[in-house]
A and B are shown apart, each in its own frame.
Chain A
């Protein structure tokens, strides 16, 4: 994976967003900066509640109260234009960006397919909204897409309620890819599936991703899924991205103490040696601890960690970590 700046599809810079609930502010995406590259599979890892889904919503621009974006910029680079997503209105996002350049598969999307509408009609609706292809062509394209994802023609005529979770999820993915987006945001697409179905789905997803070359952001709390599926990983903890790196290096040599704990606590088949977890629990994002947000649970915490937030530094090309242990001098 070569990380060259002109290959950047999305530049997220210093984005801050969260939920306004009464007088509390839940700081779920806290000054996140990140570059996503053309054609890569980027994994967003971290435990539940750390802000993964919120970050995805903010990238997509699906911002509804109580969610609020406070600051930061998001620049999307398509072949012909450079779009400042943070400056676009909902209407402009809808018209110019969503489905065409960028799609979002929300967490649990497979359960929001309308159970009373045949699978085929979900596609026809989409085409009606976003293009002016005639019905026959729509049917042909739909069949083609679903077959590429390993689904039969019968499925197209079925109602979602008649289909298994794995199949509904494939349909949701097929819908997301309909207009050949350059960036696909998938939030825990396999978390509700059993492992066998998960494997089949991941296989097919990777195959279409390779064929079409879109950038795929995969949110998952499952480190093993990241390990087999992604090219690069960003690890989130309590609203912050604490480490970014290529998947190989991240697992071979995790840098951040949180990443170390996350990987070190995973049981392996054929290995019964005792593993250690972390003490405590992630903080309340309405009232995060000062300094490094991980310090109350960190086995390496030093004085400075309790007072000051660690800077995010690039240790080597593409290897980013936010931890005082790596700040020299």
Chain B
């Protein structure tokens, strides 16, 4: 058994809400997850905004500490690492954020930021660092000359996202966690960044966790998918299997809601269940059982208990009582 790079064991994260944070709801609720085995892979985490994707990403990046459960790095609790292990963690697991501006310092030139990142994390001398940076920039389609002396504000959104990918790849991490990296970019530029992520796996042997609300782009670059709904993973597995044969009622709805120009007005003939039209409040986040219960046309008494993950076929699992035998 290979030790996964990152493993989450029954991880939850609660946030307070309401006037004085009296009501606490789980943004992430009992998630089990393993990332990074023998081979590099492109994983995708898909769900609507507010479902807990970013919170989960921050837990995996060791930015947020879980309220309960254990987040492990190389088999050890992330929050009980030695200082040297933390350094290795930072090298191994690199983030790419939605807004590339978050990656850079507004007052520092991009070049000097890259150089200090390379030197600090890799312990390279200036010359080696510059060479490594030149190589990485080339991979993202930029050159040192184009970057030299410029501050982040002087780049377009697309260029800046390339730069933040270069910054992340500089240390040749084992895993890139990219949270909605293209949602702020225009369509004609979006695909270029996705292509970069796709080839980063081949070129650098890096695994990618691509986090998005958009199934079509997930399908474009991903091999494996996790579908998240209100804090929990509801379906996971090989992306082709999940998309061709969605099991969870929510995954089905998500797929039927995705507009596709190839269908034209026919798209409206894919009816969504009437149950989706009901009015529901945030309180459902506090549910102990299946979070989809209010919308689900197939619910039974059993659904008031939290569903367990069931392997329905090879590399295809679902957390729904319908598949429990």
Chain A residue with the shortest CB-CB distance to B267: A228
Chain A residue with the shortest CB-CB distance to B253: A196
- A154-B279, A203-B268, A206-B268 given as contacts; is B191 within 8 A of A275 (CB)? yes
Query: Closest CB-CB distance, A15 to chain B, in whole Å?
Result: 24
Contact partner of B158 among A195, A202, A203, A281, CB < 8 A?
A: A281
The bracket for how many chain B residues form the interface is 35 or more
From B86-94, B101-109, B257-265, give the one contacting chain A. B257-265
Query: Closest CB-CB distance, A58 to chain B, in whole Å?
Result: 22
Contacting pair B188 A278 (CB below 8 A): yes
Contacting pair A194 B48 (CB below 8 A): yes
B192 is an interface residue with CB less than 8 A from chain A:
yes
Q: Bits for B4-47, please: 1 = Cβ < 8 Å to A, else 0.
A: 00000000000000000000000000000000000000000000
A140 is an interface residue with CB less than 8 A from chain B:
no
From B59-67, B127-135, B164-172, B215-223, give the one contacting chain A. B215-223
**Cα distance, A270 to B239, chains bound together (Å):** 10
Contacting pair A228 B268 (CB below 8 A): yes
A244 is an interface residue with CB less than 8 A from chain B:
no
**Cα distance, A274 to B194, chains bound together (Å):** 10
Contact partner of A265 among B49, B157, B191, CB < 8 A?
A: B191
Contact partner of A261 among B158, B188, B256, CB < 8 A?
A: B188
Chain A residue with the shortest CB-CB distance to B155: A281
From A75-83, A125-133, A216-224, give the one contacting chain B. A216-224
For chain B, residues 240 to 291, give those with C-beta under 8 angstroms from any C-beta of chain A. Answer: 243-244, 253-265, 267-268, 272, 276-277, 279
For chain A, residues 147 to 165, give those with C-beta under 8 angstroms from any C-beta of chain B. Answer: 150, 152, 154-155, 164
B300 is an interface residue with CB less than 8 A from chain A:
no
Contacting pair A228 B219 (CB below 8 A): no
**Cα distance, A152 to B48, chains bound together (Å):** 25
A20 is an interface residue with CB less than 8 A from chain B:
no
Q: Which residues of B contact A229 (CB under 8 A)?
A: 259, 265
Contacting pair B190 A248 (CB below 8 A): no
Chain B residue with the shortest CB-CB distance to A150: B277
**Cα distance, A195 to B253, chains bound together (Å):** 9
A226 is an interface residue with CB less than 8 A from chain B:
yes
Chain B residue with the shortest CB-CB distance to A261: B188
**Cα distance, A195 to B227, chains bound together (Å):** 14
Q: Which residues of B contact A221 (CB under 8 A)?
A: 186-187
**Cα distance, A266 to B220, chains bound together (Å):** 10
Q: Which residues of A contact B301 (CB under 8 A)?
A: none
Contacting pair B219 A270 (CB below 8 A): yes
A103 is an interface residue with CB less than 8 A from chain B:
no
Query: Closest CB-CB distance, B197 to chain A, in whole Å?
Result: 12
Chain A residue with the shortest CB-CB distance to B49: A194
B213 is an interface residue with CB less than 8 A from chain A:
yes
**Cα distance, A270 to B243, chains bound together (Å):** 8
Q: Which residues of B contact A251 (CB under 8 A)?
A: 261-262
Contact partner of B257 among A154, A199, A248, A267, CB < 8 A?
A: A199
Chain A residue with the shortest CB-CB distance to B260: A224
Q: Bits for A263-304, please: 1 = Cβ < 8 Å to B, else 0.
A: 101111110101111110110000000000000000000000
Q: Which residues of A contact B261 (CB under 8 A)?
A: 223-224, 226-228, 251, 263, 266
Contact partner of B260 among A47, A269, A274, CB < 8 A?
A: A269
**Cα distance, A247 to B259, chains bound together (Å):** 14
Closest 10 CB pairs of A and B: A227-B261, A267-B220, A194-B48, A47-B186, A277-B191, A224-B259, A228-B267, A281-B156, A277-B192, A278-B188
- Between A and B, 9 residue pairs with Cβ closer than 8 Å are A195-B259, A196-B253, A225-B259, A265-B191, A266-B187, A269-B215, A269-B219, A275-B220, A281-B156
17 further contact pairs, Cβ within 8 A, besides A251-B261, A269-B255, A277-B195: A47-B188, A194-B49, A194-B213, A200-B276, A221-B187, A223-B261, A227-B264, A262-B188, A268-B260, A268-B262, A269-B216, A270-B219, A277-B189, A281-B156, A281-B158, A281-B189, A282-B186
